[in-house]
Structures are given as C-alpha cells and as structure tokens.
Amino acid sequence: MKTVFLFDPKCLSYRINVYKYFREEFKNHGLQLQVYYENSRKPIHEEGFFPVKYSFGAFLKLFLQKKPDAAIYFIWLRYKFSLPFITFNRLFLRTKVIVWSKGINISGRKKRLMNSLYYFRQKIANALILYSEYEKQFIRTRMEKVFVANNTIDQNSFYLEDTGHDIKKELGIHTGKIVLFVGRIEERKNPDLLINLFAQEKLPYNLIIVGPGLSEKQQEIIQQSRNIFAVGGIYDQKHLSAFYQAANVFCIPGHIGLGVNEAFLFGIPVVTARIGDDPELISSEPLMLLCEGENCELFEKNSFQGLKEALTQTLDNENHLAELKKHAKQTFNEKARIEYMRDGFIAAINHTLQK
C-alpha cells in the first residue's frame, strides 16, 4: 500500500466529504490517503485527517517520520514556506510532488513577477492537477504531466429522498414555487438584488435563503416580507438536502460556486448573472456546467428587471421548467459526479509513482 499525503490547510466542510470518499476509493488502487490540515483550524474528528503546523520544519519532521510516496499540495503561495518546501521535497526527498491548483493566480495573471513563482512551481512538480481544461492555457510546463479533476461535491453525502414537504411545512409555505439561495451572504454574490426583488415586487413565489452572514438591514427587509424565509447556515447534509428537494429554482445573482453542482444533483435549474469574459470567473468550474436555455437561465449582471424576467420565464412555463430540470440532472450525471474528480487524482498519482 502506497502512502499519499494531501495538504489542505482549511479543509472546508464539503471537502471533508470529498476526501472521505477519496480515502475509500484510493484503497482499491493500493493507495492510503492521509489528509493534513492547519492545526489552527477546528479539529476534524474523522479517520485519516490530521492537524499539522503549516511550517517548513513541521512538514520536514512529518516527511522524515512517515516517508510518504507522494504528496498532493493544495497550498496557496501566501504560505511563504510552501514553495521552498516543495522545492526541497523534489530535490532531496523521495516523495513525489503533485500540485493541485488552477495553475496560477488567475486574478493576478498580469503580475509577471508573482506568476513566475507559479510557473516555477509548475516545472518542479512531478504532476499537476487542474480544476478544469480551461486552466491548461496558463501552464508553462510539459502537458504530459498535467491532469484535470473537475472540482465537485460528493453526491453520496446528500440524501435524495423527497423530504421537501417537511421544509414547506416547517416554514409554513402553502402555495407558490420556491427559489433557493444557498451560501454565505457575501457582496460578490449580490444577494441584495434577489432580496429587494422579492421585497418590492408582488411575485407569486417564495424565496428561501440558507446561509450565514445577513446584515441587520437585510434581516429587517426579510422580516417585513411575507414570502422571504432566512434560516441561517445549515451544515447537516440531510437537512440541507430537504431544502433542495423543496426548491424549484436555485438562484445566486452574482458570484456562484458549487451551489450549481448541488442544485443540478437534485435536478434544480439555475438562474444567475452572465459572467462576461473575466478569466477569473470563467475559470470557476461550476460555471462551465451552465448552458443557457438548457439547464439555466441567465440575465445581465445587476439587472433588477433581468432577474425578474429570468425567474418568471423559468417558473411560469411548466413545460420549460420540466426540460430545464431534466437537463440539470443530466448535466450533473455526465459532467459533475465525484467519480470524474477521483479519476483525475488517481491518474496523476499513478503517473508520478510510475516514473
């Protein structure tokens, strides 16, 4: 059994489920996965997850003790020790180096000096794992060592039984379709556009907001609205699944992430803003799942009327809504299942171990 380290300092909650799935699947390929997160993070009480200080010395001690066969680095360069340690790893340790990233800092793609560090990291790695095919344009090393593992959720951690009626009963929703927003409330997601639309227009729908971070002003508007329901952050997958089961449309009017994957898993179409040609946004792999008129409806960014028309166009036409739902589920099964992400990781690991 070969030992593979994976370094993810923050180890977000959805990633814990992904890594748990990887651990079981990797065993079938003779690989033992150990996940190391930053010791300042809240402890993770799961088998195979370990806290470690993110420093050169702590990593060196760990490698000398455990002697892993390969190490996957999901570490940003702002951890200043990381590039020196990866270099040391490649030159003086027997552990193979795999870097998991988007290749460079796409938001700073015009900063030549900074990106020279990313290009150096690309070259010294034994293999690279990218989020999507899109990032290949930022690679300046041999493509034979580049692999793609589309970032996604572990669909097995969700509950697909129809429990949506429980949510409607819990919130006292008796009529009207449901628009669902799931995620931390952040300005870049433009939640005010959605909240103000439901507060100011007499829409025959209900808006459910799942996620922490509402401002006092937003809470005040919601309390004065009969068809807006804010339930705070929900991290239990079974409970969260019920909200998706209850929803007819998923909507984040601004920056949208893996909520697309979660919505499509449940066959829920998406309404969101067009992203334009910003590479930082285009490189968000969930957005690559969107196909306007097929599994989603799009509107011009910050357009109050555009959002209203996109929602009504989606929700008021039953035949169109049914087609959107069918293709949303089909998109998930064809492009976003965790098995595809797993295969990219295993291919990268096998590539390095066979060299």
* DSSP states of 69-120: SEEEE---TTSTTHHHHHHHHHHH-SSEEEEEE-SS-GGGTT-HHHHHHHHH
**What is the per-residue pLDDT across 27-39, written as a single tens digit (0 to 9) for each?**
999 999 999 999 9
**What is the per-residue pLDDT across 83-137, written as a single tens digit (0 to 9) for each?**
999 999 999 999 999 999 999 888 777 778 888 999 999 999 999 999 988 899 9
Distance from C-alpha of 71 to C-alpha of 349, rounded to nearest angstrom: 9
Q: What domain range is 284 assigned to? A: 157-336
The answer to whether 311 and 203 have CB atoms below 8 angstroms apart is: yes
Report the mean per-residue pLDDT for the chain. 94
> pLDDT value at position 166?
86
Residues 185 and 314 in one domain: yes
Distance from C-alpha of 272 to C-alpha of 250, rounded to nearest angstrom: 9
How are beta strands 296-299 and 270-273 bridged, if at all? Answer: parallel
Provide the number of structural domains found in the chain. 2
Place of tokens 């103000």: 196
Residues 212 and 76 in one domain: no
In 10 A of CB 293, how many CB atoms? 12
Distance from C-alpha of 170 to C-alpha of 164, rounded to nearest angstrom: 10
Residues 85 and 135 in one domain: yes
Per-residue pLDDT, averaged over 208-234, amounts to 96
In 10 A of CB 91, how many CB atoms? 9
Residues 332 and 342 in one domain: no
The answer to whether 77 and 83 have CB atoms below 8 angstroms apart is: yes
Distance from C-alpha of 145 to C-alpha of 153, rounded to nearest angstrom: 25
Per-residue pLDDT, averaged over 206-212, amounts to 97
Residues 176 and 258 in one domain: yes
**What is the per-residue pLDDT across 126-182, written as a single tens digit (0 to 9) for each?**
999 999 888 999 999 999 999 999 999 999 999 977 777 889 999 999 999 999 999
Residues 206 and 284 in one domain: yes
**What is the per-residue pLDDT across 308-329, written as a single tens digit (0 to 9) for each?**
999 999 999 999 999 999 999 9
Residues ≥6 apart with Cβ < 8 Å to 8: 15, 19, 35, 36, 37, 74, 75
Residues 126 and 107 in one domain: yes
Distance from C-alpha of 70 to C-alpha of 353, rounded to nearest angstrom: 8
φ/ψ (deg, to 5) at 255: -60, 120
Residues 17 and 104 in one domain: yes
Residues 185 and 307 in one domain: yes
Query: Would you put residue 21 in left (φ > 0), alpha (ψ -120 to 50) or beta?
Result: alpha
Residues 133 and 13 in one domain: yes
Residue 36, beta-bridge partner list: 7, 50
Residues 344 and 307 in one domain: no
> pLDDT value at position 134?
86
Residues 287 and 345 in one domain: no
Residue 207, beta-bridge partner list: 179, 228
Q: CATH code at 325? A: 3.40.50.2000
